[in-house]
Amino acid sequence: MAVSAPSSGSDLHLPELRIVLLGNRESGKSSAGNIILGKEEFDPDARRLQCVKRQGKVAGRNVTVVDTPGWTDCNLLFSKDSPNLLKQELVLSVALCPPGPHAFLLVIHENTTFSEAEKDAMSNHLSLLGHDAWEHSLVLFIQESPAREQAFENKGKMMKLLLEECGGRYHVLNINKRDDKQVKELLEKIDCLVAATEHQEMDSRSFPYVEGRTKLDKCTERRMETGSLTGKRRIPKEKI
C-alpha cells in the first residue's frame, strides 16, 4: 500500500521559513536549494565538509536554506577525522537558522536504489538532531525526468518505512524545471508540517550533545565573525 502525501491546504502561512537539506552527495540537494530559492546559490558540484547557508525571498516569504555536507557510500567517512566533523556540521545546521529549522528535507534522487543501507544512513544522520527531528521531516524526491510520483512511492520496503517515519510527508521536485508552482506547493506542505506540531520550529538549544560541542560553539562564533556562515570563507583547520 502506497503512502500518500498529506493535503497541502493549511490556514497557517508563515512569513518566514527555515529549511535544512539532508542527503548523500548524489542526491541533488544543492540543486534543490537553488530551485527553492529561485537562484543559483549552491554549487551542485562542490565537495564540501561545511554547511552553507543562503537566504532569499520566495513567494513573498523570507526563506533560509541550509545545505549540509553530503555523505557518500552510505557511511560517514570523508577522511579518518571526518565522522566527528560531519556530526558537528549536521548539528551546526540547526544553529545556523535560529531559533531552529521548521523542516528537515530528506533529499533522495530518482536514480537512487533505496536500499537498507541508504535507509540506515538517512536515519542515522537525522538521529543526530534528536527524536523531534522526525516530526519536522519531509522526504523530498528529486526528479530530472518526467517520472510519475507513484514511481517514488513504490521504491520498495525501505522507502515505505522512511515515508512512514516521516508521517507520510513527501514532495516531488523537478530540478530541471523552473516552476514556481512546485516550490509554492512545497512551502505549503511545510506549513502543514508546522501546523501539525506543537511548536513552529525545533529549538536549537535542545539539539543533542556531540563530542567537541564546546569547540563547535567557538567555531560557530568565529564563522559568524568572519562571514563564513554564508559559505564565502572556510574556517581554519584544527583538530577536533
Domain boundaries, the chain: 16-230
Closest to 168 in 3D by CA, of 147, 141, 138, 194: 138
Cα→Cα distances 165→67, 70, 138, 240, Å: 22, 21, 10, 33
Tell me the residue type at 184.
K
Neighbours of 23 (CB within 10 A): 26
- 146/148 Cα distance (integer angstroms): 7
CA–CA separation, 136 vs 194, rounded Å?
Answer: 7
Q: Dihedral sign, CA of 125, 79, 230, 99?
A: positive
Q: What is the pTM of this model?
A: 0.79
Which is nearest to 222 in space by CA: 211, 212, 233? 233
Band the pLDDT of 29: cuts 50, 70, 90: very high
Judged against a pLDDT cut of 90, whether residue 209 lies above it is answered with no
Whole-angstrom Cα distance, residue 171 to residue 80? 35
**At which residue does the C-alpha cell 533529499 appear?**
107
Average pLDDT, the chain: 77
Residue 158: per-residue pLDDT: 92
Class of domain 16-230: alpha beta
| Alpha carbon separation from 169 to 89, 120, 146 (Å, rounded) | 25, 18, 21
> What local confidence, expressed as pLDDT, does residue 13 receive?
84
List the grid coordinates of 232: 564565502
Could you tell me which of 231, 119, 97, 107 has the C-alpha nearest to residue 165?
A: 119
* pLDDT score for 213: 43
Residues 27/125, Cβ–Cβ less than 8 Å:
no
Over residues 163-184, mean pLDDT: 91
Contact 144, 110 (CB under 8 A): yes
pLDDT tens sequence across 96-154? 988 889 999 999 998 888 888 889 888 888 888 887 889 999 999 999 877 565 566 66
Q: Of 90 and 189, which is predicted with more confidence?
A: 189
Helix (H, G, I), strand (E, B) or coil at 131: helix
Amino acid, res. 209:
Y
